[in-house]
Amino acid sequence: MSVPVLDVRGLAYAYPDGHQALFGVDLHVRAGERVALLGPNGAGKTTLVLHLNGILQAGAGSVEVSGLPVAKPNLKEIRRRVGIVFQDPDDQLFMGSVRADVAFGPANLGISGAELEARVMTALEQVGMAEYADRPPHHLSFGQRRRVAVATVLAMQPEILVLDEPSSNLDPASRRELADILRSLDVTVLMVTHDLPYALELCPRSVVLSDGHVVADGPTYDMLTDAELMRAHRLELPVGFRPESIGSLPP
């Protein structure tokens, strides 16, 4: 089999205050997959995400991205390969215009001139925000800002797109628009969420993280219909939502 895009082995991490967040996590994501990382609040999802591009350094175990270990000397390349879209777009968009914000990542990779411009416009077109290139980001709606945040990462042409709670605070229309965009992208996706219907809609496979352990890994449909698993790890479907009515996505 080919080298996984994301290869996490036995990852453990304790915060400096002694609180241990991850206990030997294994996670493998292959090229082209869309995987949901599910888990209740405080399960360690965000901690895991921050290991994927070396913001946090593993206490034990290892993280590899397409065969390249996440370690100090490789950080620049790792951060190109792993694109993280954070939960609050206001944390991610800090420049005076949408264009400058999307250009920020590729410019840090040393790209300039016409190629930079082309990357920026391609990324903005992928998320349907090209006409807003010269607006200041703080004047956009929340859904538009979330899409620009996705574009800031796409412009770096990552091998894996990591989204932290992509559907949070979105109205249903923006939520659907973002789903359409994610489906249209030809990129590997790891989506951290507790929005279970969204995971079912977008990700054929899910991994459940609970108290710093991976407790399940398999088709999203099987997870959401496993009442015992769901109950044991504080996962709940919205009232009235029946996965049976949607069924399983083809892997």
Partner 1 sequence: MGAGHGHRLHYHGHSAVHRAPAHLKILALVGFMLVVVATPREWYPVFGGYLLVLLGVIAVSRVPFGYLAKRMVIEVPFLVFAALMPFVATGPRVEVLGVALSEAGLVAAWGLAAKGTLGVLASLTLAATTESADVLIGLQRLRMPALIVQIMGFMIRYLDVVTADLGRMITAMRSRGVDPRSPRHWPALARTLGALFVRSYERGERVHLAMLSRGYDGTLK
Q: Is 161 in a helix, a strand, or coil?
A: strand
* Rounded Cα–Cα distance for residues 170 and 58 (Å): 33
Contact between 60 and partner 1 by CB under 8 A: the answer reads no
Q: Which positions from 86 through 125 interact with partner 1, judged by CB under 8 A?
A: 86, 88, 90-92, 94-97, 104-105, 107-109, 112
The least distance separating partner 1 from the CB of residue 22, rounded to whole angstroms, comes to: 18
Least distance (Å) between residue 160 CB and partner 1: 13
Query: Measured from the CB atom, is 77 or 217 closer to partner 1?
Result: 77
Q: Which is nearer to partner 1, 81 or 205 (CB)?
A: 81
Residue 210 touching partner 1 (CB under 8 A): no
Our CB check for partner 1 shows the closer of 37 and 216 to be 37
With CB under 8 A, what is the number of residues at the site for partner 1? Answer: 34
Cβ proximity to partner 1: between 154 and 223 the closer is 154
- Cα gap 138→226, rounded to integer Å: 42
76-110 residues labelled b (16+ CB within 10 A) or e (exposed): eebbbbbbbbbbebeebbeeeebbbbbbbbbeebe
144 binds partner 1 (CB under 8 A): yes
Which x/- pattern over 14-53 shows residues binding partner 1 (rule: CB under 8 A)? ------------------------------------x--x
Q: What is the 3-state secondary structure (H, E, C) of 9-50?
A: EEEEEECCCCCEEEEEEEEEECCCCEEEEECCCCCCHHHHHH
The single residue among 139, 169, 231, 244 that binds partner 1, judged by CB under 8 A, is 139
Least Å distance, CB 67 to partner 1, is 20
Q: Which residues of 30-140 form beta strands (DSSP E)?
A: 34-38, 60-65, 68-69, 82-85
Alpha-carbon distance of 48 to 55, in angstroms, equals: 10
Closest by Cα among 34, 41, 40, 29 to 5 = 29
User: Contact positions toward partner 1, by CB under 8 A?
Assistant: 50, 53, 55, 76, 79-80, 82-84, 86, 88, 90-92, 94-97, 104-105, 107-109, 112, 135-136, 138-141, 144, 152-153, 156
